[in-house]
Every structure is written in structure tokens, then in C-alpha cells.
Amino acid sequence: MKLFVYHTPESTPTDCTPDCAVVIDVLRATTTIATALAAGAEAVQAFSELDHLFAASEAWPAPKRLRAGERGGAKVEGCDLGNSPLDYTRDVVLGKRLFLSTTNGTRALQRVAAAPAVIAAAQINRDATVNYLQQHQPAVVWLVGSGWQGGYSLEDTACAGAIAAPLLVAGSMEAGNDEVIAAISLYQQWQGQLVALYHHASHGQRLLRLNCEADLDYCAQTDTLDVLPIQQEPGVSQLDSAVLA
Ligand code: 3SL
């Protein structure tokens, strides 16, 4: 297996697709997706554009849908929820389809939607992601950070390093680009202090200004959810039954 890290969706190649794309938006979209599915949501359907979200969700039975929208860290007007994973409790999401649009994370998912396997990964389901890659051994894997509007995000690259490190140590993967080694170094430097890293990160600071400190604490937890959101049809993620079994 050959592993590539891309810090942003914009830096991924446009002339090819990997066998497996792992999209990372630790703060907060992929953390929210994993949390919602772990809490019993039926599926998460991701949109880069809000008007597409509203049009698609209109066709879904109202009692079975939740609209979730975030722009600039804040909840979008007209949506049921924003993008705080702490809001995605079992009583809120059970059996419902989540129609989700966020500033960067859902755009990153859309960017790699043509790959045969697309996973949503974060710190909280890091181990489930590593196990999937070890079991399935896709030949070419991209770890794609969502970043912030085209720029690099510390928390996403640190999570890419957290996924890459055990794969390289086990010898089951080789680094395909220098970014893999840089991501591992970043993770190794901060692994015991992820909350502190997120407080340094520009998006972490944006969320702190929005009084979302508890979100940073939640998103920094490692390997707490044994769930793997995997794309079942373009844009639609559900739990991988192999992880549940
Ligand atoms: O950029 C995104 O997709 C979001 O995850 C940003 S936020 O954490 O909800 O502000």
C-alpha cells in the first residue's frame, strides 16, 4: 500500500483517484459524522452547497430528516442543527438522515467522492480507520485534510499523522509523499497534548471565539468511537458493517 497525505482538498491531484480516500476534518465535520452515525443516524448525506442540501432534503420525509448547516463556525439559519458533535445525541438523531453542509469538510468529501472507497475519519475513530486500511490493504490511499478555505489546518494534518504512524510502523504501508513524514512528525510532537495543539490552531481559535471549548475537548479524544463512516453512494456515508460486526 502507498500512502499519500494532502493537507487540503485543493492540493489533491485532479487527474487520478486513489483506491481509498480518507477525509479528515477533526474540527469538526468528520468528528460530527462519526458521532451522528455512532448515535444511530441512518446516514449522513454531505453537500458543499447549501441550496443543494435544501433541495435534496425537501424530497425526504420530514420526520426522518435533519438539516445541519455550518458557515464560519456558526449554525446556518433554517437548519435544525449546526456542526457541534455534542448536539448529535441518540434522542436527536436516531433513525434520521442527516443532510449536512459545512465550510470545508463536506467540500473535501465531495472532492474525492469518485474514489471506490471514501472514509470520514477523525481522532475519535482513528483506530477504526487504521484497522480498515490494514484489513483491506487498498493499493493507493489518500489522507485528505479539509483545511480552512484552501489553507492548511494543524488538527487535520496531525490526525493524518495519527493514522499514518501505525501503518508505517507495521510495515503495511510506505510513504508516497513527504507530507506523510511531516504529518507523522507533527502528531508525534503533540500526541499527548492535542487540546493544546487545537488551542494554537487558527480554526481552534475561531471556535474558541464562538464559545466552543467543549467541542475542542471532545474532538481531541482518540479512539473513543469504534465506527467507520464509509460512502455507500456518492455523498452518502453510513456505518461500515464490518466494523460493527
Ligand atoms: O470547515 C468545516 O467543514 C467545519 O467542520 C467547520 S466548523 O468546525 O464547523 O466550524
Average pLDDT taken over every residue of the chain: 96
d(CA 72, CA 104): 10
Distance in Å, CA 16 to ligand 1 centroid: 27
Ligand 1 site residues, Cβ closer than 6 angstroms:
25, 27-29, 70, 73, 83, 102-105, 146, 207
Pocket test for ligand 1, best of 23, 75, 203, 218 (most atoms within 8 A of CB): 203
| Mean of pLDDT values over 71-97 | 97
Euclidean distance between CA atoms 131 and 117, whole angstroms:
14
The residue contributing the CA closest to ligand 1 atom 7 is: 73
The minimum-distance atom of ligand 1 relative to the CA of 84 is: 9
Is 22 within 8 Å of 163 (Cβ atoms)? yes
- Region 17-30: mean pLDDT is 98
Closest by CA to 229, choosing from 134, 94, 124, is 124
Grid coordinates of 25 = 476534518
Predicted local confidence at residue 244, as pLDDT: 43
Mean per-residue pLDDT, 145-168: 97
Residue 245 has pLDDT above 50, yes or no: no
Please give the pLDDT value at position 240: 82
Pocket residue to mutate for ligand 1, from 79, 88, 102, most atoms within 8 A of Cβ = 102
Which of the four pLDDT bands, split at 50, 70 and 90, describes residue 172? Answer: confident
Is the model's pLDDT at 223 over the cut of 60? yes
Distance CA 191, CA 87 (A): 26
111 pLDDT higher than 50: yes
Measured distance CA(67)–CA(75) in Å, rounded: 10
| d(C-alpha 126, C-alpha 155), whole Å | 13
Task: Specify the pTM.
Answer: 0.97
pLDDT per residue over 120-154, tens digit each?
Answer: 999 999 999 999 999 999 999 999 999 999 999 99
- Which atom of ligand 1 lies at the shortest distance from residue 30's CA? 5
39-62: per-residue pLDDT in tens?
A: 999 999 999 999 999 999 999 999
| Residue 70 Cα: closest atom of ligand 1 | 9
